[in-house]
């Protein structure tokens, strides 16, 4: 018997979870949205979305038991994907508000976009990658995705997960920023796949297939 096709979406009270859930269901999976880790514990995969301030979101993630839930999923080899702020929360440190620690799963820094550019960065941007990435399989490098963010995962330095280099896709908005990351079973995207049309749905479908393996 195959794994359940249900994917959990962790509700931190941040962001439009309904649009993420609709997109997950549009690619053939069941979406279960909850802020209670017990309701998501046995699902095939977990999505951590979010918008807002890094420190406040990290605090909510820990207080609600979400951080421990993410760690349990990864320890069992079950895929986890962070979207936008959800990706940033996986990192070691975010400089917003004077700085605060993230979950420390991704060895990278979250920095504010440089001065002189419209911030937040809202709109479409190309994403490029040189390695094979499951999330971006079948897409041409330079595919357009929708972004909305004021902070970014630093793409100038190598990004590691558990001491190993992660595969990354990079966009540029004044500086190189990590737009997609994978080090199975951990995945993340800075863009919003649920707002990126057909290419975004392909990313969510690829994550769903990872959850079934």
| Residue 84: active-site member | yes
Q: For residue 122, what is the enclosing H or E element? A: strand 121-129
Catalytic residue among 149, 182, 194, 210: 194
Are 161 and 70 spatial neighbours (Cβ–Cβ below 8 Å)?
no
Distance, in Å, from the CA atom of 7 to the CA atom of 33, rounded to the nearest integer, reads 9
| Residue 192: active-site member | yes
Buried b (16+ CB within 10 A) or exposed e, 8-25: bbbbbebbebeebbebbe
Cα angle value 96/178/204 (rounded, 5°):
110
Terminal Cα-to-Cα distance of the chain (whole angstroms): 12
Distance, in Å, from the CA atom of 23 to the CA atom of 208, rounded to the nearest integer, reads 11
| Residue 210: active-site member | no
Catalytic residue among 84, 91, 210, 211: 84
User: What pairs with residue 160 in β-bridges?
Assistant: 107, 165
Catalytic residue among 96, 107, 182, 192: 192
| Sign of CA pseudo-dihedral 79, 62, 40, 24 | negative
So which residues are the catalytic ones?
A: 84, 192, 194
């Amino acid at each position: 018997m195959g794994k359940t096709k249900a994917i959990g979406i962790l509700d931190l009270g941040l962001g439009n979870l309904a649009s993420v859930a609709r997109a997950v269901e549009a690619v053939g999976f069941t979406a279960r949205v909850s802020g209670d880790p017990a309701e998501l514990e046995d699902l095939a995969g977990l999505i951590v979305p979010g918008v807002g301030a890094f420190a406040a979101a990290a605090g909510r993630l820990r207080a609600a038991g979400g951080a421990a839930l993410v760690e349990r999923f990864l320890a069992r080899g079950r895929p986890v994907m962070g979207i936008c702020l959800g990706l940033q929360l996986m990192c070691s440190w975010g400089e917003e508000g004077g700085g605060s620690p993230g979950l420390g799963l991704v060895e990278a820094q979250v920095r504010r976009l440089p001065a002189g550019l419209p911030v937040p960065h809202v709109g479409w941007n190309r994403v490029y990658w040189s390695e094979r990435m499951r999330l971006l399989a079948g897409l041409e490098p330079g595919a357009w995705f929708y972004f909305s963010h004021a902070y970014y995962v630093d793409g100038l330095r190598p990004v590691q997960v558990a001491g190993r280099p992660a595969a990354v896709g990079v966009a540029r908005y004044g500086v190189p920023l990590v737009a997609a990351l994978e080090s199975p079973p951990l995945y993340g995207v800075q863009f919003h796949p649920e707002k990126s049309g057909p290419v975004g749905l392909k990313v969510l479908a690829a994550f769903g297939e990872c959850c079934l393996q």
